[in-house]
Amino acid sequence: MKPILKIDHLKKNYHDMTGELTAVEDVSLNVMDKEFIAIVGPSGCGKSTILSILSNLEEKSGGTITFGKEHCKLGYMLQKDSLFPWRTILDNCLIGLEINHELTEENKERVIRLLKTYGLEDFMYKYPDSLSGGMRQRVG
Ligand SMILES: Nc1ncnc2c1ncn2[C@@H]1O[C@H](COP(=O)(O)OP(=O)(O)O)[C@@H](O)[C@H]1O
Ligand SMILES: [Mg+2]
């Protein structure tokens, strides 16, 4: 079976005023369909860097990344949520659709259904400030 994600000899160097730092060196792994994997290691070993490269937030310095499908949908939940404090919970959830010009009534209803699924129905019109950390992560 073909992996849905294949990482080969991934490398990442960061550069700043003080010089170069190798954050990821020669990481290779395959992820198969329906497989859950955890990347475990001490703080600063490069875990977030790998995820940032996979989601195109950082450029890799070497190696290859191959997705099994041409149009692969990738979700990345960051350690810290990035909710906009000036938007309600519902409006935070709609922002992706807004940016992609896909905010139809049907899509909005789907988002509201998802908010209900995650037990956030009563908080739809509240602001991120009034939610707990776990609730904010669920919104994210
Ligand atoms: N944007 C950045 N610029 C420079 N160095 C960075 C940057 N992000 C992470 N690093 C460094 O890369 C290394 C790996 O960081 P990171 O991927 O965040 O580790 P982890 O998620 O495993 O704790 C650390 O030494 C960190 O200081
Ligand atoms: Mg991290």
Question: What is the rounded CA–CA span in Å between residue 89 and residue 102?
Answer: 18
Question: Which run of H or E residues covers position 67?
Answer: strand 62-67
Ligand lying closest to the C-alpha of residue 41: 1
pLDDT tens for 24-44 read: 999 999 999 999 999 999 999
Question: pTM score, two decimals?
Answer: 0.81
Relative to the CA of 47, which ligand 1 atom is closest? 22
Residue 81 exposure: Cα atoms within 13 Å on the Cβ side: 18
Mind listing the pLDDT tens digit for each residue in 78-121? Answer: 888 889 999 999 999 999 999 999 999 999 999 999 999 999 99
Q: Please give the distance, rounded to the nearest whole angstrom, from the Cα atom of residue 7 to the centre of ligand 2.
A: 19
